[in-house]
Chains A and B, each alone.
Chain A
């Protein structure tokens, strides 16, 4: 094995009620791409925050090239050559690229010098960037470049990447991997966090698997199969959802020639969207975040009103009907943002059940609310969807992301929708919960509901959808049967590499 760059010994970090990391130890070698694998909530993020100096470990120690390493703050970690690309981008929308990069440096050179260095480094690594563009206008792939360049300008010894590919098209992932390969060849170590196993198998030299905060195993990804790694991660074998063969019925929802201006400065306008979905069909809509997903959902759910005949349900125009009237007709939606959009964080689960269920479950009469029936409804959701909570009187905020997601999806599924629109139904949900959510969508479609599933997880879309379309800059590609689509074809439907080029170095 190569020389050890960073060594972790017995790192432990506990938060009230949960041990995020429990005596985690492993080594990262010089010039090694080391994968950190694990489900959501396995403690990956906490661990890298300790390495980056954002969180202090309770016990345990780290050594960097043999010397004790205990960064009190990110500044110190950066000074020691540790750089990090964040999962949720740590960028400032209203500032330009150069300003964003200057903020991540200790002693930035004057702006003009910095701009030319950004040009130089970004060309060198095949990630061209204009230093004077406003970050709010960049695509997700370009934003990630900004973060990577910010790190590279400091000549890091260890680059930490937290789920870097979750926002990229397959083509953009290829470009990223080439950059990482180049970095490795120059001797930079990379700590790569992901739960996408195939990526790790192609890229990483070594992998450490975390489960519930503990190091449960190490492996060499190239020599280990994806299913073996998945078992290590989850702790048990997974059963993929079953899709029975289904007959598609008549047209349920029909959108034609829909254009909607962008609702906000950094939003996306929908441009000439055509879409049809039949009874019993699951239409999967892919695309990189920020290409009109939220806007499309709000057009379908009735939050954004449109020309009356742009949106039709069973041939009847409903474009001018609001969400409550659409719910009465059977068009239900579960938006992406769990806290704040799909659920009111500080209200109880019962109250949240009332919020969308009042129309179809008849929980309201002459302006008076039937709390007893609502509580029963909430309890039914909790039971049918295995939501882990002490009871329906608990606030939505108190549930973990995965449990709240099960509640949000279950709440809509149990109302027997005719058309169900979901956005990112399994985002941030662990694998077993995700599987049960997908199964419930398949079951619902088998009962004859039409489902539109917007997601950035291509594996998920391939698993459940009958036809597939992609959103790119507010335009929806023509839907194609999902069976037999290749990754390249999907990538091209998503807009390819968005004009970004690979390095020719």
Chain B
């Protein structure tokens, strides 16, 4: 056992990478749930994003194009969910679950010819001087663009909720759709837009796994990150910065346990492997003592009646 092999700077840098897929998916789902929709299909949208992004990047040679395709694919799959729940009034839980199953199956089919291929690499940020600084350089200035995009998205979602009319209307729709309708807001339209946004974010999160975190394609490679994203949104009390905190915590424990495994700590690998899930949920459960911020209309279908 040799713990000195673990480099804290690299550890922090890699935990940010490990956290980003989770962060992207969870921020998207936060917006969806704030609008009063519970989309349990995050895992399915992520894996579709993962394969769509991977395939596009491989075919076109551009990882950035891959991310664009992933966002479109995730949003496209969420259209299915939107049709089912917003127009056909289908149950949101059942529709979300079937979306995940559908996404997992479809991605396996789409990805058959991509197993074992290496995708094109995405360039890392390289600012002269800044990126070469010790400690701060690799942590703050040595990542790929998408990682910064994830943090910027968190800030943007927070600001939209807090300061803008769009955010206020979105929260109002999730809080009391009947009242929002009575005031003349288009509940269904707002919810569909939120669902599409959530789908695009989940797609990006999935592509981040297949293009950057583990640059390859394997069937079912999202490995439950979509489910953790769902739990994260709830335990973060629907607050964007808490989602970021939870995602980094998860990423951190994941990276630490991988390092511990490599260092040969005498704890069975299975326990180490489950630790990120356990610790993230435990911490967030403690943090989320006040449940009052749950959108009141979460998971309830809206139908404009008389």
Is B4 close to A, CB under 8 A?
no
Q: Is the CB of B165 within 8 A of A91?
A: no
Number of residues of chain B lying within 8 A (CB) of chain A: 20
Q: Is the CB of B175 within 8 A of A95?
A: yes
A104 to B180, CA, bound (A): 9
Is A1 close to B, CB under 8 A?
no
Is A92 close to B, CB under 8 A?
yes
Q: Is the CB of A90 within 8 A of B168?
A: no
- Chain B residues within an 8 Å CB radius of A102: 165, 168
Q: Is the CB of B306 within 8 A of A46?
A: yes
- Chain B residues within an 8 Å CB radius of A78: 184
Is A30 close to B, CB under 8 A?
no
A183 to B295, CA, bound (A): 36
Interface residues of A in 68-108 (CB under 8 A from B): 73-75, 78, 86, 89-95, 99, 102-104, 108
- Chain B residues within an 8 Å CB radius of A54: 182, 184
Q: Is the CB of B292 within 8 A of A265?
A: yes
- Chain B residues within an 8 Å CB radius of A49: 306
Q: Is the CB of A94 within 8 A of B296?
A: yes
- Chain A residues within an 8 Å CB radius of B172: 92, 95, 99, 103
Is A368 close to B, CB under 8 A?
no
A15 to B306, CA, bound (A): 9
Is A55 close to B, CB under 8 A?
yes
Q: Is the CB of B175 within 8 A of A93?
A: yes
A100 to B179, CA, bound (A): 10
Is B76 close to A, CB under 8 A?
no
- Chain A residues within an 8 Å CB radius of B292: 94, 265
A68 to B175, CA, bound (A): 36
A54 to B306, CA, bound (A): 9
Q: Is the CB of B182 within 8 A of A90?
A: yes
Q: Is the CB of A74 within 8 A of B175?
A: no
- Nearest residue (CB) in B for A53 is B184
- Chain B residues within an 8 Å CB radius of A94: 171, 175, 292-293, 295-296
Minimum CB–CB distance from A79 to chain B (whole Å) comes to: 11
Is B178 close to A, CB under 8 A?
yes
A89 to B295, CA, bound (A): 18
Minimum CB–CB distance from A154 to chain B (whole Å) comes to: 12
- Chain B residues within an 8 Å CB radius of A15: 306
Is B183 close to A, CB under 8 A?
yes
Minimum CB–CB distance from B151 to chain A (whole Å) comes to: 26
- Chain A residues within an 8 Å CB radius of B169: 103
A103 to B167, CA, bound (A): 11
A371 to B170, CA, bound (A): 48
Q: Is the CB of A92 within 8 A of B176?
A: yes
- Chain B residues within an 8 Å CB radius of A104: 183
- Nearest residue (CB) in A for B185 is A103
A271 to B105, CA, bound (A): 57
- Chain B residues within an 8 Å CB radius of A95: 168, 171-172, 175
A95 to B183, CA, bound (A): 15
- Chain B residues within an 8 Å CB radius of A90: 176, 178-179, 182-183
A320 to B73, CA, bound (A): 56
Minimum CB–CB distance from B178 to chain A (whole Å) comes to: 7
Minimum CB–CB distance from B186 to chain A (whole Å) comes to: 9
A86 to B184, CA, bound (A): 13
- Nearest residue (CB) in B for A55 is B306
- Chain B residues within an 8 Å CB radius of A108: 165
Interface residues of B in 172-199 (CB under 8 A from A): 172, 175-176, 178-180, 182-185
- Chain B residues within an 8 Å CB radius of A55: 306
- Nearest residue (CB) in A for B305 is A15
Minimum CB–CB distance from B35 to chain A (whole Å) comes to: 13
- Chain B residues within an 8 Å CB radius of A74: 182-184
- Nearest residue (CB) in B for A92 is B175
Binary per-residue interface labels of chain A (438-455) against chain B in the complex, 1 for a CB within 8 Å, 0 otherwise: 000000000000000000
A290 to B292, CA, bound (A): 18
Give the most central of B175, B292, B296: most A CB within 10 Å.
B175
Binary per-residue interface labels of chain B (219-251) against chain A in the complex, 1 for a CB within 8 Å, 0 otherwise: 000000000000000000000000000000000
- Chain A residues within an 8 Å CB radius of B184: 53-54, 73-75, 78
Minimum CB–CB distance from B85 to chain A (whole Å) comes to: 20
Minimum CB–CB distance from B191 to chain A (whole Å) comes to: 16
A99 to B172, CA, bound (A): 9
Binary per-residue interface labels of chain A (42-79) against chain B in the complex, 1 for a CB within 8 Å, 0 otherwise: 00001001000111000000000000000001110010
A78 to B182, CA, bound (A): 12
- Nearest residue (CB) in B for A110 is B163
A270 to B178, CA, bound (A): 30
Interface residues of A in 92-130 (CB under 8 A from B): 92-95, 99, 102-104, 108
A482 to B299, CA, bound (A): 46
Q: Is the CB of B183 within 8 A of A103?
A: yes
A103 to B174, CA, bound (A): 13
Give the most central of B168, B185, B295: most A CB within 10 Å.
B168
Binary per-residue interface labels of chain B (284-300) against chain A in the complex, 1 for a CB within 8 Å, 0 otherwise: 00000001110110000
Minimum CB–CB distance from B249 to chain A (whole Å) comes to: 26
- Nearest residue (CB) in A for B179 is A90
A15 to B165, CA, bound (A): 35
- Nearest residue (CB) in A for B178 is A90
- Chain A residues within an 8 Å CB radius of B295: 94
A90 to B200, CA, bound (A): 32
- Chain B residues within an 8 Å CB radius of A99: 168, 172
- Chain B residues within an 8 Å CB radius of A89: 179
Interface residues of B in 256-305 (CB under 8 A from A): 291-293, 295-296
Minimum CB–CB distance from A437 to chain B (whole Å) comes to: 25
- Chain B residues within an 8 Å CB radius of A20: 306
Q: Is the CB of B176 within 8 A of A93?
A: yes
Minimum CB–CB distance from A11 to chain B (whole Å) comes to: 15
Minimum CB–CB distance from B36 to chain A (whole Å) comes to: 11
Minimum CB–CB distance from A91 to chain B (whole Å) comes to: 6
Minimum CB–CB distance from A130 to chain B (whole Å) comes to: 19
A93 to B293, CA, bound (A): 11
A95 to B165, CA, bound (A): 13
Interface residues of A in 15-55 (CB under 8 A from B): 15, 20, 46, 49, 53-55
Minimum CB–CB distance from B295 to chain A (whole Å) comes to: 8
Interface residues of A in 311-354 (CB under 8 A from B): none
Pairs of residues from A and B, 3 with the lowest C-beta to C-beta distance, nearest first? A74-B184, A90-B179, A92-B175
> A15-B306, A74-B183, A92-B180 known; 9 other A-B pairs, CB under 8 Å?
A92-B171, A92-B176, A93-B175, A93-B176, A94-B175, A94-B293, A94-B296, A95-B171, A103-B169
Sampled A-B contacts (27; CB under 8 Å)? A20-B306, A53-B184, A54-B184, A73-B184, A89-B179, A90-B178, A90-B179, A90-B182, A91-B176, A91-B179, A92-B176, A92-B180, A93-B175, A93-B176, A94-B292, A94-B293, A94-B295, A94-B296, A95-B168, A95-B171, A99-B172, A102-B165, A103-B168, A103-B180, A103-B183, A103-B185, A108-B165
A residues near B (Cβ < 8 Å) are 15, 20, 46, 49, 53-55, 73-75, 78, 86, 89-95, 99, 102-104, 108, 265
